[in-house]
């Protein structure tokens, strides 16, 4: 990218250098000047590479997208302003009135809300089905079904989707399979290798990894579909901040190390909680309902998320959180510090209690995003908090 063009109000160009920065420069410019109308035409019509207006793309988003593209084995990925904006780019950018969409019945709460409220509002019908059973997905397909959206591992119930079976169903029906790979990340799973057509990430979470970025990423295997996603994202203004992209690219440099360390501690925490009598869901444990599938699908990478349930309702939940000194009670995941969330008051608060119960969530349900603390110190905090919750 040229950096020597000047204007009357900004007459000084960036200093030239024979050396290059080892860190990607931050480029917050909203606009990029071209030398002529012909050059601008060349950019817009694909004969030349370049940036024009930041809503349509900027260097930091492009650099981050290429990094995640390579991790997922895809090309042309689009960085958006949040994980939910990536979901919106798919559901609103690809669907029209009269279409039908199938979603996993254990999606993230805001994804469920979009399925239940926003799509019907524009004439798109929806059906929720269990992603752990490909037969249930097959039974939900209609002639007008446009796409299927599932999470590889559900948030926050940690159920493991039958991705291979669902991919086969989608292909037979000529339906797009969309996989949200946020929990699992390409460190554990590359959905495109199993037949997914579109992959989504909340980059905010494990990929960026420091709770200081809000971003999403989405890519489609079919270039034509990818173009539709990009056009909608630009038109709707789902623009990613250059600064957030710059931070996220920095976060990716340590992602494999962070993932492996947090995953090791998560396995220890899951076993510790189970030993104390809590009901635990962790794909790496033999008592997980889809443990065999997780072992085959994730290649031994069971990730850093642990869900557990305690008795005693809201009173016990309050006591647990208050006693978990040093653990942030916050509705997020993927930070370097362990965070504790309560689905009934955060991700799934919009669902009635009876609907949460169908998902296996109660007032005593917690989701833990394990970070990089010393394992023994972390287990000690959870031990004290459990004791407080039980009186």
Together in a domain, 172 and 275: no
Residue 279: both structure tokens together = 């009901």
Nearest Cα to Cα of residue 342 among 182, 204, 210, 156: 156
* Residue 185 is assigned to a structural domain of this protein: yes
Query: pLDDT per residue over 96-122, tens digit each?
Result: 999 999 999 988 888 989 999 999 999
Among 205, 223, 252, residue at a domain's last position:
252
Residue 148, SS3? strand
Together in a domain, 335 and 275: yes
Distance CA 147, CA 99 (A): 9
Together in a domain, 134 and 259: no
Together in a domain, 182 and 248: yes
* Residue 229 is assigned to a structural domain of this protein: yes
Q: Which long-range contacts (CB under 8 A, 24 or more apart) does 179-182 make?
A: 179/150, 179/151, 179/152, 180/87, 180/107, 180/108, 180/111, 180/149, 180/150, 180/151, 180/152, 181/72, 181/152, 182/83, 182/151, 182/155, 182/206
Question: Could you confirm whether 258 is annotated as catalytic?
Answer: no
> H or E element: which one contains 293?
helix 291-298
Among 235, 252, 269, residue at a domain's last position:
252
Asked if 69 contacts 219 with a C-beta cutoff of 8 angstroms, the reply is yes
Together in a domain, 214 and 101: yes
Among 199, 218, 252, residue at a domain's last position:
252
Together in a domain, 152 and 240: yes
* Residue 270 is assigned to a structural domain of this protein: yes
Q: Is the pLDDT of residue 12 over 80?
A: no
Distance CA 217, CA 227 (A): 14
* Residue 48 is assigned to a structural domain of this protein: no
Together in a domain, 147 and 294: no
Distance CA 314, CA 198 (A): 39
Q: Is the pLDDT of residue 3 over 70?
A: no
Q: Is the pLDDT of residue 6 over 90?
A: no
Marked catalytic residue, from 99, 105, 162, 180: 180
Marked catalytic residue, from 42, 55, 113, 138: 55
Together in a domain, 286 and 245: no
pLDDT at 391: 84
* DSSP E strand stretches across 23-144: 78-80, 100-104, 125-129
pLDDT at 356: 84
Marked catalytic residue, from 108, 159, 261, 367: 108
Question: Could you confirm whether 180 is annotated as catalytic?
Answer: yes
Together in a domain, 128 and 199: yes
Together in a domain, 240 and 283: no
* Residue 145 is assigned to a structural domain of this protein: yes
CB neighbours (10 Å) of residue 136? 19
| Average pLDDT for 342-371 | 88
DSSP string computed for 232-257: HHHHHT-PPPHHHHHHHHHHHTTHHH
- Percent of all residues in the chain with a pLDDT value above 70, rounded to a whole number: 99
**Quick one: how far is CA 362 from the chain centroid?**
24
| Range scoring the smallest mean pLDDT among 38-52, 176-190, 234-248 | 38-52
Who's near 203: CB < 8 A, 6+ residues apart?
Answer: 64, 68, 79, 83, 213, 215, 216, 217, 248
Marked catalytic residue, from 205, 221, 230, 293: 205
Residue 309: both structure tokens together = 């349930």
Query: pLDDT per residue over 194-250, tens digit each?
Result: 999 999 999 999 999 999 999 999 999 999 999 999 999 999 999 999 999 999 999
Nearest Cα to Cα of residue 341 among 218, 211, 249, 240: 211
* Residue 305 is assigned to a structural domain of this protein: yes
* Residue 23 is assigned to a structural domain of this protein: no
Q: β-strands 305-309, 339-341: how paired?
A: unpaired
Asked if 219 contacts 227 with a C-beta cutoff of 8 angstroms, the reply is no
Here the CATH number for the domain that contains residue 275 is 3.90.1150.10
Q: Look up the domain containing 305 and give its range.
A: 255-389
Together in a domain, 289 and 380: yes
Residue matched to tokens 């039908």: 100
Q: First and final CA of the chain: distance in angstroms? A: 63
Residue 382: both structure tokens together = 């959870």
Number of domains observed in the structure of the chain: 2
pLDDT at 2: 56
Q: β-strands 305-309, 279-281: how paired?
A: antiparallel
Together in a domain, 345 and 227: no
Distance CA 351, CA 390 (A): 27
Angle between helices 223-236 and 83-94 (to 10 degrees): 110
Here the CATH number for the domain that contains residue 172 is 3.40.640.10
* Residue 346 is assigned to a structural domain of this protein: yes
Q: Is the pLDDT of residue 84 over 60?
A: yes
Residue 79, SS3? strand
Query: pLDDT per residue over 261-284, tens digit each?
Result: 999 999 999 999 999 999 999 999
């Amino acid at each position: 990218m040229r950096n020597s063009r000047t204007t009357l109000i900004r007459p000084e160009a960036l200093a030239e250098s024979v050396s290059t920065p080892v860190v990607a420069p931050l480029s917050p410019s909203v606009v990029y000047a071209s030398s002529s109308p012909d050059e601008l035409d060349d950019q817009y019509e694909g004969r030349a590479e370049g940036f024009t207006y930041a809503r349509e793309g900027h260097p930091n988003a492009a650099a981050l997208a290429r990094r995640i593209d390579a991790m997922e084995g895809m090309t042309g990925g689009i960085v958006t302003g949040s994980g939910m904006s990536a979901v919106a780019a798919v559901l609103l950018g690809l669907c029209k009135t009269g279409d039908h969409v199938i979603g996993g019945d254990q999606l993230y709460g805001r994804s469920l809300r979009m399925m239940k409220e926003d799509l019907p509002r524009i004439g798109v019908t929806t059906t929720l089905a269990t992603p752990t059973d490909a037969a249930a997905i097959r039974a939900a397909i209609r002639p007008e079904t446009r796409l299927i959206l599932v999470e590889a591992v559900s948030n926050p119930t940690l159920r493991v989707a039958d991705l291979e079976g669902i991919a086969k169903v989608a292909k037979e029906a000529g339906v797009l399979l969309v996989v949200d790979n946020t929990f699992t990340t390409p460190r554990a799973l590359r959905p495109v290798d199993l037949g997914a057509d579109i992959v989504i990430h909340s980059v905010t979470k494990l990929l960026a990894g420091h709770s200081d970025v809000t971003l999403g990423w989405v890519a489609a295997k079919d270039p034509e579909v990818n173009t539709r996603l990009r056009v909608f994202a630009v038109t709707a203004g789902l623009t990613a901040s250059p600064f957030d992209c710059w931070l996220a690219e920095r976060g990716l440099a340590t992602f494999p190390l962070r993932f492996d360390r947090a995953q090791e501690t998560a396995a220890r925490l899951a076993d510790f909680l189970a030993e104390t009598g809590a009901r635990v869901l962790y794909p790496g444990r033999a008592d997980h309902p889809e443990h065999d599938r997780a072992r085959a699908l994730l290649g031994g990478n069971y990730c850093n998320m642990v869900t557990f349930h305690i008795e005693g309702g809201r009173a016990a939940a309050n006591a647990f959180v208050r006693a978990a000194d040093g653990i942030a009670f916050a509705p997020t995941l993927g930070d370097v510090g362990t965070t504790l969330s309560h689905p009934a008051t955060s991700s799934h608060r919009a669902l009635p209690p009876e609907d949460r119960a169908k998902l296996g969530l109660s007032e005593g349900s917690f989701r833990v995003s394990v970070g990089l603390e010393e394992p023994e110190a972390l287990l000690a905090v959870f031990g004290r908090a459990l004791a407080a919750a039980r009186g």
